[in-house]
Structure 1
Amino acid sequence: MQRSFLWMGCCLVLAYYQGIGQARTYVNEFLNLGAGARGLAMGTAQVAVTDNATSGYWNPAGLTRLDAPQLSLMHAAYFSGIGNYDFASAALPLSSQHDVLGFTLLRFAVDDIPNTLYLVNPDGSVNYDQVTTFSAADYALLCSYARNIPLEQSGDDARTLQVGGNVKIIHRVVGTFASSWGFGLDAGLQYRLPHWIFGLMLKDITTTFNAWTFHFTDAEKQILFLTENDIPVKSTEITMPQLIPAVAWDMQIREKWHVLIETDIAVTTDGKRNTLISGKRISLDPRMGLELSYRHMVFVRAGISHLQRTQDDADTTGRHQIWISQPAVGAGFQVKGFQLSYAFTNLANQSQPLYSHIFSLDIDIPHKKKLAAY
């Protein structure tokens, strides 16, 4: 019992980061949380329709839809404030009118985790004054480049192809005990017709790796040894590629009303996941989102994602399964270069809901002339 109490604050966190350097399921999963209240309210279905500064996260090809610099900010508190997610992105169109640069920074962290390594003195007495705290934080920086390629410009038959890519740097830390650095590449495209948009996002196209190092002091190593815990060594984690094809329907239904509907399918290659279609190596996770706008000023959004088949808790026989999902709704308001968006999302599932209120702000930056092309 004493050993269990000793490690209740940090052993569980460290266990997640230990392991052999192999391709495993759910590596760098913090990069799949989403970005911006618009995308979260639409059930994370954004690969085809994304067109603002958050595109560096969803699909860098969407950055080409911007004709002015833009800043996007979001903060979300998950699990009643236990986890904090902060997101910031900026997009900078160049003077060529075909090229855009983007920069995205995100952080997901659990702060103030008790470090009870020195809670129990050598004589067996308990000293709460020796309990300190630490943070387990994940950081990512995405540097994006996108280019617009006009294919045909003839009124209603206008067709365009947008392409883009990300270079991403990942840094993860667990207090002073462990840290890692990772690097990866993403690529995306959008193909636009008058009323249809096709998108494709290729995440971690060359696989993304995280190289972990551990920094225990001699005293900490001794406590690990005495409590029969393994002492971690250097290791690596590999994130396997993910493919997300998408299609969206974009239509003006009345003079002042506009509707946008998108469907995405996330195809993961890191093994069996709890998704709608799950295989030994490949799993498919569909998502759908809807946005209804009035004069492109007022927006109402809804979406659904993470369809899963799970055991019915009310069934004592263990034979009956039910479908669950993560629904979301939201709204937005845009005026004079400012767009405030809100999302009400379920971070868990319908059987054990965990709802969260999320706000984000997109700001167009006034400029007199385009940035000079590089």
Structure 2
Amino acid sequence: MTRFLLLASLALAAVPAIAQQAPEEIVLTTAVPFLQIEPDSRASGMGMAGVAVADNAYAPFWNPAGLAGQEGTEVSFTHAPWLPALGANLSYEHLSAKHGLGSAGTLGGHLTYFDLGTQTATDEQGIELGTFSSYEFALGLSYGYPVTENLSVGTGARLIYSNLTGGRDIGNNPTSAGTSVGVDLGVKYQGPELGLGQSSRPTFAVNLANMGPGISYVQSTPEDSILVGQPDAIPTTLRFGLALDTQLDDFNRVLVALDLNKIIVNKDPATGDYDPFYEALFTSWQSRLVKTSTNSGESCFEADGSENVDAECREVSGLRSLTLGTGLEYWYNDLFALRTGYFYEDPANGNRQFLTFGTGLRYSLVGVDISYIYALQENSPLADQLRFSLLLNIPR
């Protein structure tokens, strides 16, 4: 099988992180980008804002501290035909559950499965050698604990498995599935009553997700000039969230949420190696040299990592890798919800910009949520993206 197949598979998996690109690209792709896909249709209908909103079985993804204080048992499931605009037959499935332990806190668990479809294996001459399936999954546990009435903390860990090549060779190099682990830490603080409507309290939250070692799929040999054997970083993500939940009267409730997110990844321009996540916590904020034109064939760096003064490059702040999501949710009598939101990513960092819409129903022990993405760019692979979520509360 050619090297192209592995690289194409990686690119296909990474589409959500690089949906649209501009001349001044500072995009750093990672392995297993499916870990960044928002699993619930509630937050994905609110501009992908959920860090400070996390209050159900999806909290292990958004913020494990959101599990704290949750009582009872709930199971949730999300299905999404992924990137339908590409016609690639991808699908995303997510199963979550939480169980309250009373004053001892709340446990959560989740299973995420990302189906990359069927791939065709070829040799170096392009002759087809058969087909194989590519898929990835993550299995994790989380725990949230209320430190005080207003302050909660949480943590979680997940096992990550990525099978992109089906065990096929890349040139002379044997491949295998990649594995890693990711650890999460979260904090959630509920502020004082603001006196709006019947009740109104802000919530502040921070989550650092997927801290762990990189993934490697193949060990390169000295004869192999492409560094396909170098470990790729997993998408360590730092999220800041703010939410304001206001009960207007006995029947009407409005929630406003805002998230700022950053992928904590940094890559050495000379070696192509990724910094360990604990170093990237600091180095990922540094400014980077990027090309000012996609037509320029020269790299911004020399082989030794020094700046190429002849290349058409400029310095771009690391702050431009922040993404913003903001959303609004309206509930009537805690039975019916309408949602909308906006997501923004800098043109130099992927250029995803879209509106989101959603609705939700709650009746007895069952809840249903649906969300939809309206892309603001032409030919966006995220166009018409739908998510469907089902929540089931299990009585004691």
TM-score bin, normalised by smaller chain:
0.7 to 0.9
Output aligned runs, 1:260-275, within 5 Å.
260-270=255-265, 271=284
Q: Which residue of 2 aligns with 1:72?
A: 76
Shift of residue 82, structure 1, vs aligned partner: 2.2
Q: Which residue of 2 aligns with 1:350?
A: 377
Equivalent of 1:295 in 324, 333, 338: 333
Letter in 1 for 2:70: L
Paired residues, number = 313
Q: 1:104 to 1:230 in 2, by over 3 A?
A: same
- Output the CA distance in 1 between the equivalents of 2:7 and 2:47: 34
Shift of residue 361, structure 1, vs aligned partner: 0.3
Higher strand content, 1 or 2: 1
- Output the CA distance in 1 between the equivalents of 2:34 and 2:11: 17
Shift of residue 187, structure 1, vs aligned partner: 0.6
Equivalent of 2:363 in 335, 348, 355: 335
The alignment partner of 2:346 has SS state of strand
1:172 maps to 2:136: no
Q: Which residue of 1 aligns with 2:303?
A: none
1:246 maps to 2:224: no
Moved over 4 A (4+): 6-11, 14-17, 118-121, 229-234, 271-274
- Output the CA distance in 1 between the equivalents of 2:213 and 2:82: 26
1:306 maps to 2:344: yes
8 Å contact kept, 2:33–2:235? no
Q: Which residue of 2 aligns with 1:117?
A: 123
What's the CA shift string for 1:210-258, capped at 9, x where partnerless?
A: 3424399xxxx9xxx9xxx868764322347432111111111233100
The alignment partner of 2:147 has SS state of strand
Q: Which residue of 1 aligns with 2:206?
A: 200
- Output the CA distance in 1 between the equivalents of 2:11 and 2:352: 29
- Output the CA distance in 2 between the equivalents of 1:341 and 1:60: 21
Taking structure 1 as the reference length, what is the TM-score of the superposition?
0.74
Q: 1:170 to 1:356 in 2, by over 3 A?
A: same
Equivalent of 1:87 in 91, 94, 106: 94
Q: 1:14 to 1:268 in 2, by over 3 A?
A: closer
Output aligned runs, 1:37-186, within 5 Å.
37-80=41-84, 82-94=89-101, 96-117=102-123, 131-151=129-149, 160-174=150-164, 175-177=166-168, 178-186=176-184
Q: 1:57 to 1:324 in 2, by over 3 A?
A: closer
Tell which deviates more after alignment, 76-85 or 99-108.
76-85
8 Å contact kept, 2:69–2:105? no
Q: 1:215 to 1:14 in 2, by over 3 A?
A: farther
Q: Which residue of 1 aligns with 2:277?
A: none
Shift of residue 65, structure 1, vs aligned partner: 4.0
The alignment partner of 1:303 has SS state of strand
Q: Which residue of 2 aligns with 1:25?
A: 28
Q: Which residue of 2 aligns with 1:359?
A: 388
Shift of residue 103, structure 1, vs aligned partner: 0.7
Shift of residue 29, structure 1, vs aligned partner: 2.0
Shift of residue 30, structure 1, vs aligned partner: 1.5
8 Å contact kept, 1:268–1:282? no
Structure with greater Cα Rg:
1
Gaps of 5+ in 2: 14-26, 169-175, 194-200, 266-283, 291-315
- Output the CA distance in 2 between the equivalents of 1:303 and 1:258: 17
Gaps of 5+ in 1: 18-23, 122-129, 152-159, 311-322, 368-374
- Output the CA distance in 1 between the equivalents of 2:362 and 2:11: 45
- Output the CA distance in 2 between the equivalents of 1:186 and 1:209: 13
Shift of residue 357, structure 1, vs aligned partner: 2.0
Equivalent of 2:353 in 300, 307, 325: 325
8 Å contact kept, 1:52–1:65? no
8 Å contact kept, 1:52–1:66? yes
Letter in 1 for 2:34: F
Shift of residue 39, structure 1, vs aligned partner: 1.3
Shift of residue 184, structure 1, vs aligned partner: 2.1
- Output the CA distance in 2 between the equivalents of 1:10 and 1:213: 9
Tell which deviates more after alignment, 241-250 or 281-290.
281-290
What's the CA shift string for 1:11-67, capped at 9, x where partnerless?
A: 6226889xxxxxx92313211110111011111100001100000011111112421
- Output the CA distance in 2 between the equivalents of 1:141 and 1:325: 30
What's the CA shift string for 1:281-308, capped at 9, x where partnerless?
A: 7722111011100011100011111333
Shift of residue 78, structure 1, vs aligned partner: 1.6
Letter in 2 for 1:263: L
8 Å contact kept, 2:42–2:360? yes
